[in-house]
Amino acid sequence: MTWWSRPAADTQITHGSRLWLYVLSAIIMLLLVAPTLIVVPMSFSDSQYLEFPPSIWSLRWYEEYLGSAKWMRATATSFQVGFLTMLVATPLGIMAAYALFVSRHRATRAIFLLLITPMIVPVILIAIGTFYAYGRVGMNNTIAGLVLAHSALALPIAIIVITAGLRSYDLSQEQVARSLGATRTKAFFLITLPQIRFSVITAALLSFLTSFDEVIIAIFVSGGANATLTKHMFAALRDYIDPTIAAISTIMVILSSALLLLTQFLGSKGRGN
């Protein structure tokens, strides 16, 4: 029997009669991936107009990016804010997720809903709200202000990822440790945390990326010497098509792809254990 006349599913539909689905899916996957990937070769073009494929290859736009004090400063800010957001959101996310998972208190549901509001409230409102509030306390254009706002955005993601990790782990292991005399804190750090480490790492990476990629709050709340990469990129996009952005985009695509593959790798390792 050839491949296409073989049944593809329980309804005995054949691969041949599913061919349209395979073709369509391939096209949609191409549409999903291609646009961002096509920027990569274009960033190596020597031309002012982004060509594909480039007629002359060069590193001109990378030199432009690396040689610009403004872009370098913004990149440093974005990394700094992303890293600090990760350091704030991950432990707070672990604490909240663990508490909500273990606690049998009536209020847990309400608290959970409160903690995930940053996912529900349109970001523009968080942006103008914090901009207004920070204006009152002089926290606009500060790293601390941006980190705090980005942490609020990252927290729900961290909590959801870590809760998923806790759910796939058998909590009775912690109870065994406690019945053998470990305190709850000790049992958590020695038994639970190592078992949910892949969720914790994923939550940390996602927190970093949430901050690093965030645009709207950064537009309002960051500025001056502490303006982020995305703020400058957005300003550049609105005015004209600057090929330097292609170089920066390429670096960002590589960064996020690397982080994604890292979580996939850790995830498959986590399942294997």
Partner 1 sequence: MARADADGSRSGRHLHEAALKRQHAREQWSILSLVVPATIVIVLIILIPLSWLFYLSFLGDNGGFSLENYHKMTQYKSYYRIFVTTFQVSILTTLACIALGYPLAFFLAQLPPRWAGVFMLAVLLPFWTSLLVRTYAWLVLLQKRGILNEFAMQVGLWETPIKLVHNMTGTLIGMAHIMLPFLILPLYNAMRKIDKDMMHAAANLGANPINAFWRVYFPLSLPGMVAGSLIVFVLCLGFYVTPAVLGGGRVIMVSNQITAILENQFDWGAASALGVVLLVATTFTLYVAARLFRFDAALFGRD
Site for partner 1 in 58-117 (CB under 8 A): 88, 92-93, 95-96, 98-100, 102-105, 107-108, 111-112, 114-117
Residue from 87, 128, 182, 266 binding partner 1 (CB under 8 A): 128
Q: Kindly indicate which of the ranges 62-70, 169-177, 192-200, 210-218 contains the residues binding partner 1, using the contact rule CB under 8 A.
A: 210-218
Residue 59 or 99: which CB sits closer to partner 1?
99
The CB-of-220 to partner 1 minimum distance in angstroms stands at 8
For partner 1, the binding residues in 172-201 under the rule CB under 8 A are: 184
Residue from 44, 50, 86, 201 binding partner 1 (CB under 8 A): 50
- How far apart CA 25 and CA 9 sit, in angstroms, is 17
The CB-of-85 to partner 1 minimum distance in angstroms stands at 11
Residue 75 or 163: which CB sits closer to partner 1?
163
Query: Is it true that the peptide bond before 53 is cis, omega within 30 degrees of 0?
Result: yes
- How far apart CA 53 and CA 32 sit, in angstroms, is 20
251-270 footprint of partner 1 as x/- string (CB under 8 A): -xx--xx-xx---x---x--
CA neighbor of 153 nearest in space, from 234, 229, 228, 212: 212
Q: Kindly indicate which of the ranges 37-45, 58-66, 67-75, 195-203 contains the residues binding partner 1, using the contact rule CB under 8 A.
A: 37-45
DSSP 170: -
Residue from 126, 162, 227, 247 binding partner 1 (CB under 8 A): 126
User: What is the distance, to the nearest Å, from the Cα of residue 156 to the centroid of all Cα atoms in its chain?
Assistant: 12
- How many chain residues bind partner 1 (CB under 8 A)? 90
Residue 51 or 68: which CB sits closer to partner 1?
51
Residue 108 carries which side chain, given as an amino acid letter? T
Q: Does 133 bind partner 1 (CB under 8 A)?
A: yes
For partner 1, the binding residues in 155-174 under the rule CB under 8 A are: 155, 159-160, 163-164, 167
Tokens of 238: 């609105």
Backbone CA torsion sign across 104, 106, 107, 111: positive
N-terminal to C-terminal alpha carbon distance within the chain = 39
Residue 217 carries which side chain, given as an amino acid letter? I
Tokens of 214: 């965030």
Residue from 17, 173, 175, 183 binding partner 1 (CB under 8 A): 17
CA neighbor of 219 nearest in space, from 204, 239, 198, 234: 234
Contact 198, 259 (CB under 8 A): no
